[in-house]
Chain A
């Protein structure tokens, strides 16, 4: 099993640009989670999906952030326009029938 796959692993962009982060969950998992980690705020849940449907997006910071899950094997987190304060490590996690969430390696985003 390849685990949760995230791409890109590193992204550097300029303020105002659109950024798209991608996630492939573990096959067969029906829950998908997006988290953000910063030194100031720690690890925060942004949004999670069940069977491709967004269940709770209360953690999404503002309208510049959007997430989609068009099918069971792919999800995106988009930031448009990006700002320097969006710089963080973004993690995707998935969960199946067991109790544990499996996290991906993360995408380190730097907005200059």
Chain B
């Protein structure tokens, strides 16, 4: 059973905010939401993670709904280099020992 559901693809205009949704309606109380991305032919790259509070770092913001059943990754000013597959992962504990990657969302940033 997939723990997360993401749209297979999205487009975003360069310079605009990219909002990537993720549904995780069966998330448990001790499970964290992680986001990774994979730029073509490279290894995945960590973006951000959170439990229930919204989080922000230099790359992105993570908005988690109050019931924790869904979240949104926000790239505030998308560039062409942000074109990648974005993975939303739910994993128990903060340790992220075992990441189960789904199919992710292919984000295309359009000039």
Contact = CB atoms under 8 A, between A and B. Distances in A.
Nearest to B93: A99
Contacts of B103: 42
A4 B43 CA distance: 10
Nearest to B49: A99
Interface in B70-98: 87, 94-98
Interface of B: 34, 38, 41-46, 49, 87, 94-103
Contacts of B49: 99-100
15 contacts: A31-B97, A43-B38, A43-B44, A43-B87, A45-B99, A56-B97, A95-B97, A99-B46, A99-B49, A100-B46, A100-B49, A101-B96, A103-B43, A103-B44, A105-B43
Interface hub of A93, A100, A102 (most chain B Cβ within 10 A) = A100
Interface string A88-106: 0001010100011111111
Contacts of A102: 46
Nearest to A56: B98
Contacts of A48: 97-98
Top 4 A-B pairs, shortest CB-CB distance: A103-B43, A100-B46, A43-B101, A103-B44
B42 A105 contact: yes
A90 B80 CA distance: 26
Given A42-B101, A102-B46, 11 more contacts: A43-B38, A43-B101, A44-B101, A45-B98, A45-B100, A56-B97, A93-B43, A93-B44, A99-B49, A104-B43, A106-B41
